[in-house]
């Protein structure tokens, strides 16, 4: 029974620096372990497949212009978004251009609109991908060109002191930049803080978008570290009241039609029938396509791609063949396979049999603007054709939505009002 | 004489083994005698025990060797012989004592694994031998030789400590107590002492309440004034100290508690000082064990302690002060835990004893402050009434906060300028003591007045005592009232310069004063840690660093741990430095490297010099570690720092080479920081470094070193990634060995599991080689750690084990992701899900485990995808646990849960 020692620490700081060094080391190791884990979790889930040529690029080579002439067959590599966002030159433009999910035009009303679809009023402006990583934010337009290069409150979007610019995290948002209030309206969320949402349903992406965007402070008014405001767009279940709210409700931006999202659809690059766009004069200033001067041409114009065998096709996958081009035009104008060509639709118009395009009266106008990356999609051509002849009206949409009785039975999904 | 066959056999065996003894031992063990029929024969050990205490080293060594051989060759006879020696009244006292001691050492050891072995060995010992030994031990308690009795007491307690938890020796307590009243005083004393040791040795839950009652009755009766013999009373009082932990039920019974408390309080008034001291020790123990039962007695206890503090001899007075310090400890814990809110949910309410006693307690303590000893600051081991009183005053301040300030301020004002150094020192110490606890609002006005006075006293006071305490008080001011926690800063542009100047000047004072000045500077720097890009210390940075380095070179720097304090302060100054001074920190690198280089020059050091060298190398490696971590945290400084990497690593390797069998913990820690800063380039150091890494992993004795090395393996894995592959075989083999060793401290095992994760993440599918072994180790640990049964410490350990296991799973899953070998993991998934479900169902995981666990669920889904879809859907974790985490208040848990939800969503949708 040893007498217990009474002595207490006297005039000694309670801390031991050696213990502090040990603790700080452990802390650093734990943090590094978390970072490594986090990076592993994010990295692999964000790898996007490059369908065409994709030169492998090391981050440190990012300043070098990537050459486009690569043997694309052998180098079918995966490239992750953060690396891609550092690429320069036409390759990256092409790459980004392929990453956006492009809505088809609504040429008939899908079934179960009120159960399976969301509707939102599309802001007018420049469609772009906003990528935040490594402390900067870059917005790229549909054709891949950079719109802005700026700091933002998105995760990893600015070099702030709190270290939110950590290398592991990044975001990719599908946005429309609305010029008059200088705001990025977020219409979809592709990656958030390193987590990929590609394989998630629209339902989940919108839920995520609404909870995360606000939390991040990206919706705050612009400041030194946050140059542009971001805003979510109100998303409604596409029942009668939702559709009506999207169609005629007041929003802080200029509307350009309505977007319909199938709730179960994943984010998918390129054209998809699971997202649809529809517009009329009430909800859009640009219902009928304008020409280069902003005027409505007397005849509908379409851009189609010339393929082998003189076929003129749309940008759809698989492409829809419109017709075949005369051999002499090809020779006379020196056209090659892959060229995008502009046509007017003549008086013969388009004719359909069993809902399928049977014949098109096309008048060759010339090569399309160099800035164009794609031909028109089939649905766009048809929508524009219908607008000029027998448009799909809002009443048709409302009418197709089930009777109120049916709606009672529909399980109510999350009501999101941004 | 006709012997029974079994005894004959034993004798034959014994003679058989005797033939193998060396000539010396056969001489020593030449005479044998039987203790009785059916008994094991004891051997004559007196001579060898005498030899074992011989002043002749060679004789001693021989004797020790013989004892060792005897023990190895026939343990039962060995132990029986020792107990026989102890019990034999004809033997010399010194061999009886040594016999008892050797016996005791055969039952218990400090090292956990050795202790476990000895316990198992005793339990499996021949039962005849055990009962013979016990009989000898009990018999010795009545010996007239006090040393023999006392030794037997301790050995009995050790045997009880092994046997009672196994429900063996049930008659022990009964037989000790059976005739205690008839015993002569010396046997009574030995019996009470045995009960005391026994209570110290065994845990209360293995003794029936009935027996506890008997023990307490005997002990308390032995303490009471009706017991005439002082030794018996003292033994009883000391025994009560150990038995208090058994008295839960008795303290809940008002009558019994009143009786015990009355007897203890009476004993504090005994004419015998040792009894008074032992009685106060009981009071101190009661204050923490039965805090909630003290209310009826606290007034009386105050009177008793106040009298003791004022008048009694120092050992008693110190215990009396300790009583109040201990009450403060209790109330601080309660108040911290419940934040002053006792609305029903707290086990023990705060009785505010300190607050109530405050008006009388504080003057009593202040009075003690003036009883300083000369030179107490130079004496490491000093502990006197002034020190105890001041320490208690500090605890009182933490307990009551603002209320103490008006009670102490008049004392400070009255004494701070008196000619007698004791008064000035006492006043300063009182001021320093109350700086933690009261609110800054209350203290800052005082500090603003006092600061200039203190700075002047630190340089001008003629008394070294006063300067020492003044420097310490300044450190406390900076620790508690300086920095981002305080709204109105006490340090301005104007006085910052003066403070730094005074502290640097004071670092040239005597070692103890200089050490306190370093401490004050430590906290001064710390307060500026979160200052942003510019620190008020920037203009003085160079001067501060220079002064600290000068201190480290003082001839007397080893006194008062001055050199350690100087390096620790340098570390903190570097840690809290800003970008502005980064170039200066960089300049420090070659300076510290040169210092480290100099320690490597000495040749043929004595063991004392070697220890000093190791200590200094530790400080220097620690300093380099801090610098590496600082400079490595920003890309620009890291880049410039890297020019030194090769040389630094070279020095660390030489530090390792200085020693033959151990690695230097601080150098290892610093290498971890260097690996992190260097990244993949660290590969070039691996060929030379690897053997030290292995050595560190094999250091079971100094488990801290092993733990640190395990952490460094993690650092290196992350730095090297797949370049670590060539070293993986060795590392993994060693780590698996460590896991299965029962010699390695258990605290190292969770980090080893985490380390599996680090390696798997670094090497990816290459981990396949180790997968089976790692998974099987993980699986058995997972099974063990699913259920926790035990105290808080065990709960904490189990959670750290779970966390390590889960981090391993995470690393393995993420490492295999996107590899064609992913399917190798599928067979393990059911068990892992079962583990997650299991710990979820236990409802006792902490937040860290929760976060890691839900992350593992995500990793499993992420890597296995649709292969695990249905398995995941069937698990509880994927529903209830996930939902619980999703709605967690803890953002980190929530974020992990959201990730898991995503990954699961993908896995089951595909």
DSSP per-residue codes, B351-389: --HHHHHHHHHHHHHHHHHT-PPTTGGG-TT---HHHHH
Q: What confidence score (pLDDT) does residue A13 get?
A: 61
On the question of pLDDT at B129 being above 80, the answer is: yes
CB contact under 8 A, B906 and A199: yes
Q: What confidence score (pLDDT) does residue A42 get?
A: 64
Distance from CA of B707 to the nearest CA of A (A): 10
Mind listing the pLDDT tens digit for each residue in B19-74? 333 333 333 333 344 444 467 888 889 999 999 988 998 999 999 999 999 999 99
Q: Which two tokens stand for residue A114?
A: 């009120």
Mind listing the pLDDT tens digit for each residue in B69-88? 999 999 999 999 999 999 99
Residue written as token pair 């510019």: B534
On the question of pLDDT at A405 being above 90, the answer is: no
Report the predicted TM-score, pTM, of the whole model to 2 decimal places.
0.69
The pLDDT-based confidence of B300 (bands split at 50, 70, 90) is: very high
CB contact under 8 A, A33 and B754: yes
Of A8, A21, A197, the CB nearest to B325: A8
The pLDDT-based confidence of B8 (bands split at 50, 70, 90) is: very low
A contacts of B905 (beta carbons < 8 Å): 199-201, 204
CB contact under 8 A, B761 and A37: yes
Of B200, B758, B903, the CB nearest to A33: B758
Asked if B714 reaches chain A (Cβ–Cβ under 8 Å), the answer is yes
On the question of pLDDT at A270 being above 80, the answer is: no
Nearest chain A residue to B476 by CA: give it. Answer: A13
In terms of DSSP H, where are the helices of B401-491?
Answer: 405-415, 421-433, 440-460, 464-481
- 3-state SS, B178-223, equals CCHHHCCHHHHHHHHHHHHHHHHHCCHHHCCHHHHHHHHHHHHHHH
Q: How many CB pairs under 8 A join A and B?
A: 121
B contacts of A215 (beta carbons < 8 Å): none
Residues 6 or more apart from A230 whose CB is under 8 A from it? Answer: A152, A153, A154, A173, A175, A183, A184, A185, A186, A213, A218, A219
B contacts of A22 (beta carbons < 8 Å): 669, 704, 708
Distance from CA of B719 to the nearest CA of A (A): 10
A contacts of B676 (beta carbons < 8 Å): 28, 32
CB contact under 8 A, A40 and B761: yes
Asked if A6 reaches chain B (Cβ–Cβ under 8 Å), the answer is yes
Of B387, B711, B859, the CB nearest to A29: B711
SS3 A276: strand
Q: What confidence score (pLDDT) does residue A136 get?
A: 80
Of B360 and B793, the one with more pLDDT: B360
Distance from CA of A9 to the nearest CA of B (A): 8
Contact B71, B21 (CB under 8 A): no
Contact B511, B557 (CB under 8 A): yes
Of A29, A32, A45, the CB nearest to B862: A45
Mind listing the pLDDT tens digit for each residue in B151-191? 999 999 999 999 999 999 999 999 999 878 888 999 999 99
Mind listing the pLDDT tens digit for each residue in A5-26? 777 878 776 456 777 877 887 7
Q: What confidence score (pLDDT) does residue A292 get?
A: 67
CB contact under 8 A, B711 and A204: no
CB contact under 8 A, A22 and B475: no
CB contact under 8 A, A10 and B519: no
Q: What confidence score (pLDDT) does residue A402 get?
A: 61
**Structure-derived torsion over alpha carbons of residues B127, B133, B137, B139, reported in degrees to the nearest 10:** 90
On the question of pLDDT at B576 being above 80, the answer is: yes
Q: Which of B507, B609, B596 is nearest to B560 (CA)?
A: B507
The answer for A 204-223 residues in CB contact with B (under 8 A) is 204
In the DSSP assignment, the letter for residue A240 is H
On the question of pLDDT at A102 being above 90, the answer is: no
Provide, rounded to the nearest whole percent, the portion of chain B with pLDDT above 70: 94
What number is the average pLDDT over the span B211-221?
93
On the question of pLDDT at B867 being above 70, the answer is: yes
User: For A112-126, A403-417, B37-51, B873-887, which range has the lowest pLDDT when averaged over its residues?
Assistant: A403-417
The CA distance from B432 to B416, in Å, is: 12
Distance from CA of A168 to the nearest CA of B (A): 14
Q: What confidence score (pLDDT) does residue B38 get?
A: 62
CB contact under 8 A, B711 and A197: no
CB contact under 8 A, A13 and B196: no
Q: Which two tokens stand for residue A240?
A: 């009668």
Q: Could you tell me the CA-to-CA distances from A21 to A11, B571, B758 in Å, in that order?
A: 22, 9, 21
The CA distance from A240 to A256, in Å, is: 20
CB contact under 8 A, A13 and B522: yes
Q: Could you tell me the CA-to-CA distances from A257 to A128, A247, A288, B304 in Å, in that order?
A: 17, 8, 12, 89
The pLDDT-based confidence of A44 (bands split at 50, 70, 90) is: very low
The CA distance from B562 to B521, in Å, is: 13
Q: How many CB atoms lie within 10 A of CB B793?
A: 8
* Long-range pairs, B144-147, Cβ under 8 A, ≥24: B144/B89, B144/B186, B145/B89, B145/B93, B145/B96, B146/B186, B147/B93, B147/B96, B147/B97
CA B79 vs. chain centroid, Å, equals: 34
Of B281, B468, B814, the CB nearest to A37: B814
CB contact under 8 A, B899 and A195: yes
Provide, rounded to the nearest whole percent, the portion of chain B with pLDDT above 90: 70
Asked if A199 reaches chain B (Cβ–Cβ under 8 Å), the answer is yes
Of A28, A36, A196, the CB nearest to B629: A28
Mind listing the pLDDT tens digit for each residue in A334-370? 888 888 888 888 888 888 777 777 888 888 888 887 7
Q: What confidence score (pLDDT) does residue A54 get?
A: 32
Contact A260, A252 (CB under 8 A): no
CB contact under 8 A, B714 and A45: no
Of A11, A197, A199, the CB nearest to B516: A11
CB contact under 8 A, A199 and B909: yes
Q: Could you tell me the CA-to-CA distances from B456 to A279, B312, B450, B540, B839 in Å, in that order?
A: 82, 38, 10, 20, 61
The pLDDT-based confidence of A215 (bands split at 50, 70, 90) is: confident
Mind listing the pLDDT tens digit for each residue in A145-163? 778 888 888 888 887 655 4
The CA distance from B303 to A29, in Å, is: 54
Q: How many CB atoms lie within 10 A of CB B577?
A: 24
Q: What confidence score (pLDDT) does residue B660 get?
A: 60
Nearest chain B residue to A1 by CA: give it. Answer: B197
The answer for B 310-329 residues in CB contact with A (under 8 A) is 318-319, 322, 325
The answer for B 669-698 residues in CB contact with A (under 8 A) is 669, 672-673, 676
The answer for B 480-539 residues in CB contact with A (under 8 A) is 516, 519, 522-523
Residue written as token pair 């218990």: B108
A contacts of B197 (beta carbons < 8 Å): 1
Of A25, A36, A200, the CB nearest to B673: A25
Asked if B468 reaches chain A (Cβ–Cβ under 8 Å), the answer is yes
SS3 A198: coil
What number is the average pLDDT over the span A310-323?
83
Distance from CA of B739 to the nearest CA of A (A): 20
Nearest chain A residue to B819 by CA: give it. Answer: A44
Asked if A3 reaches chain B (Cβ–Cβ under 8 Å), the answer is yes
Q: What confidence score (pLDDT) does residue B339 get?
A: 61
CB contact under 8 A, B622 and A25: no
Mind listing the pLDDT tens digit for each residue in A170-205? 788 999 999 889 999 999 998 888 777 877 788 888
* Alpha-carbon dihedral sign for residues B51, B52, B53, B57: positive
Mind listing the pLDDT tens digit for each residue in B411-470? 999 999 999 999 999 999 999 999 999 999 999 999 999 999 999 999 999 999 999 999
What number is the average pLDDT over the span A278-289?
86
């Amino acid at each position: 029974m040893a007498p217990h020692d009474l002595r207490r620490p006297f005039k000694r700081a309670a801390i031991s620096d050696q213990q502090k060094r040990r603790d700080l080391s452990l802390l650093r190791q734990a943090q590094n372990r978390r970072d490594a884990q986090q990076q592993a979790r994010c990295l692999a889930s964000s790898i996007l497949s490059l369908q065409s040529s994709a030169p492998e690029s090391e981050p440190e080579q990012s300043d070098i212009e990537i050459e486009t002439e690569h043997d694309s067959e052998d180098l079918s590599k995966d490239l992750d978004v953060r690396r891609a966002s550092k690429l320069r030159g036409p390759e990256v433009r092409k790459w980004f251009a392929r990453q956006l999910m492009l809505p088809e035009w609504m040429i008939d009303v899908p079934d179960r609109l009120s159960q399976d679809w969301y509707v939102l009023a599309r802001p007018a402006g420049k469609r772009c991908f906003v990528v935040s990583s490594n402390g900067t934010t870059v917005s790229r337009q549909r054709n891949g060109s950079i719109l802005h290069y700026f700091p933002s409150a998105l995760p990893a979007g600015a070099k702030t002191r709190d270290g939110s610019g950590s290398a592991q995290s990044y975001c990719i948002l599908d946005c429309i930049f609305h010029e008059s209030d200088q705001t990025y309206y977020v219409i979809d969320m592709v990656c958030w803080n390193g987590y990929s949402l590609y394989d998630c349903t629209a339902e989940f992406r919108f839920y995520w978008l609404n909870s995360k965007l606000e939390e991040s402070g990206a919706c705050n008014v612009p400041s030194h570290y946050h140059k542009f405001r971001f805003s979510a767009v109100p998303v409604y279940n596409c029942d009668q009241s939702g559709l009506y709210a999207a169609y005629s409700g007041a929003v802080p931006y200029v509307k350009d039609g309505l977007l319909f999202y199938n709730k179960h659809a994943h984010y998918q690059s390129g054209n998809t029938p699971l997202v649809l766009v529809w517009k009329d004069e009430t909800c859009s200033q640009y219902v009928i396509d304008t020409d280069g001067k902003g005027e409505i041409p007397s005849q509908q114009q379409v851009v189609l791609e010339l393929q082998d065998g003189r076929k003129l096709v749309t940008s759809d996958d698989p492409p829809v063949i419109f017709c075949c081009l005369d051999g002499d035009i090809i020779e006379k104008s020196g056209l090659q396979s892959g060229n995008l060509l502009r046509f007017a639709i003549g008086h013969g118009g388009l004719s359909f049999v069993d809902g399928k395009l049977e014949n098109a009266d096309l008048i060759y106008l010339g090569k399309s603007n160099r800035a164009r990356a794609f031909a028109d999609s089939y649905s766009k051509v048809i929508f524009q054709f219908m607008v000029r002849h027998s448009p799909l009206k809002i009443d048709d949409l409302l009418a197709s939505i089930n009777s109120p009785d049916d709606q009672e039975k529909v399980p109510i999904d999350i009501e999101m009002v941004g | 004489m006709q012997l029974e066959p079994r005894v004959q056999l034993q004798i034959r065996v014994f003679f058989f083994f005797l033939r193998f003894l060396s000539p010396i031992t056969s001489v020593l063990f030449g005479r044998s005698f039987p203790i009785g029929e059916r008994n094991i024969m004891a051997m004559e050990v007196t001579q060898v025990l005498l030899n074992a205490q011989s002043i002749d080293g060679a004789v001693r060594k021989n004797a020790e060797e013989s004892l060792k051989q005897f023990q190895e060759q026939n343990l039962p006879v060995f132990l029986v012989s020792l107990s026989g020696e102890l019990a034999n009244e004809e033997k010399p006292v010194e061999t009886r004592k040594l016999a008892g001691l050797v016996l005791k050492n055969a039952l218990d050891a400090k090292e956990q694994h050795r202790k476990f072995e000895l316990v198992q060995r005793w339990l499996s010992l021949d039962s005849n031998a055990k009962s013979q030994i016990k009989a000898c031990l009990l018999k010795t308690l009545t010996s007239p030789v006090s040393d023999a009795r006392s030794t037997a007491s301790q050995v009995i307690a050790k045997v009880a400590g092994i046997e009672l938890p196994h429900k063996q020796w049930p008659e022990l307590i009964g037989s000790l107590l059976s005739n205690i009243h008839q015993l002569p005083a010396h046997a009574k004393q030995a019996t009470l002492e045995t009960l005391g040791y026994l209570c110290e040795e065994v845990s209360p839950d293995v003794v029936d309440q009935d027996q506890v009652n008997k023990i307490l009755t005997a002990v308390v009766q032995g303490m009471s004034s009706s017991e005439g013999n002082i030794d018996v009373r003292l033994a009883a009082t000391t025994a009560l100290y150990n038995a208090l932990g058994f008295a839960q039920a008795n303290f809940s019974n008002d009558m019994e508690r009143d009786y015990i408390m009355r007897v203890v309080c009476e004993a504090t008034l005994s004419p015998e000082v040792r009894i008074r001291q032992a009685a106060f020790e009981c009071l101190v123990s009661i204050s923490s064990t039965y805090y909630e039962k003290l209310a009826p007695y606290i007034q009386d206890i105050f009177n008793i302690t106040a009298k003791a503090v004022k008048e009694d001899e120092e050992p008693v007075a110190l215990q009396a002060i300790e009583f109040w310090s201990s009450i403060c400890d209790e109330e601080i814990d309660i108040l911290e835990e419940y934040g002053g809110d006792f609305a029903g949910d707290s086990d023990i309410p705060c009785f505010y004893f300190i607050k109530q006693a405050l008006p009388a307690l504080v003057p009593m303590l202040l009075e003690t402050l003036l009883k300083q000893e000369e030179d107490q600051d130079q004496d490491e081991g000093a502990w006197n009434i002034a020190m105890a009183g001041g320490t208690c005053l500090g605890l009182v301040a933490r307990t009551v906060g603002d209320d103490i300030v008006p009670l102490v301020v008049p004392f400070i004002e009255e004494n701070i300028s008196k000619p007698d150094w004791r008064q000035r020192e006492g006043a300063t110490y009182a001021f320093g003591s109350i700086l933690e606890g009261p609110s800054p609002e209350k203290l800052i006005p005082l500090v603003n007045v006092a600061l200039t006075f203190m700075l002047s006293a630190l340089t001008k006071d003629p008394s070294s005592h006063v300067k020492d305490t003044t420097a310490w008080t300044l450190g406390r001011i900076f620790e508690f009232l300086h920095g981002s926690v305080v709204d109105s800063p006490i340090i301005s542009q104007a006085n910052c310069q003066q403070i730094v100047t005074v502290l640097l000047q004071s670092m040239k004072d005597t070692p103890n004063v200089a050490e306190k000045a370093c401490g004050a500077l430590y906290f001064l720097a710390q307060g500026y840690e979160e200052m942003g890009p510019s620190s008020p210390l920037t203009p003085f940075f160079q001067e501060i660093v220079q002064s600290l380095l000068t201190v480290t070179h003082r001839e007397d720097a080893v006194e008062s741990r001055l050199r350690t304090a100087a390096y620790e302060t340098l570390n903190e100054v570097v840690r809290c430095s800003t970008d502005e001074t980064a170039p200066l920190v960089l300049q420090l690198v070659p300076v510290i490297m040169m210092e480290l280089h100099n320690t490597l020059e000495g040749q043929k050091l004595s063991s004392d010099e070697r220890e000093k060298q190791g200590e200094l190398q530790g400080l220097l490696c620690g300093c380099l570690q801090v610098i590496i971590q600082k400079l490595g945290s920003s890309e620009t400084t890291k880049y410039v720092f890297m020019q030194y990497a090769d040389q630094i690593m070279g020095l660390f390797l030489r530090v390792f080479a200085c020693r033959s069998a151990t690695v230097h913990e601080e150098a290892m820690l610093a290498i971890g920081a260097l690996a992190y800063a260097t990244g993949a380039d660290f590969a070039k150091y691996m060929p030379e470094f690897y053997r030290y890494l292995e050595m560190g992993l094999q250091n079971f004795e100094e488990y801290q070193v092993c733990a640190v090395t395990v952490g460094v393996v993690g650092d290196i894995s992350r730095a090297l990634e797949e370049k670590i592959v060539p070293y993986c075989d060795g590392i993994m083999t060693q780590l698996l060995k460590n896991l299965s060793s029962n010699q390695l401290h258990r605290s190292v095992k969770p980090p080893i599991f985490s380390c599996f994760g680090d390696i798997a993440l670094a090497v990816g599918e290459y981990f396949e080689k180790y997968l089976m072994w790692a998974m099987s180790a993980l699986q058995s640990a997972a099974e063990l750690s699913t259920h926790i049964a035990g105290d808080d410490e065990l709960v904490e350990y189990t959670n750290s084990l779970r966390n390590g296991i889960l981090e391993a799973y995470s690393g393995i899953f993420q490492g295999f992701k996107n590899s064609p070998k992913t399917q190798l993991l599928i067979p393990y998934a059911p068990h892992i899900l079962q583990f997650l479900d299991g710990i979820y169902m236990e409802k006792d995981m902490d937040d860290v485990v929760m976060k890691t666990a839900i992350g593992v669920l995500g990793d499993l889904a992420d890597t296995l995808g649709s292969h695990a879809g249905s398995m995941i859907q069937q698990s509880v974790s994927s529903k209830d646990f996930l939902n619980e985490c999703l709605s967690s208040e803890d953002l980190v848990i929530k974020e992990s849960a959201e990730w898991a939800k995503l990954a699961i969503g993908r896995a089951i949708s595909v």
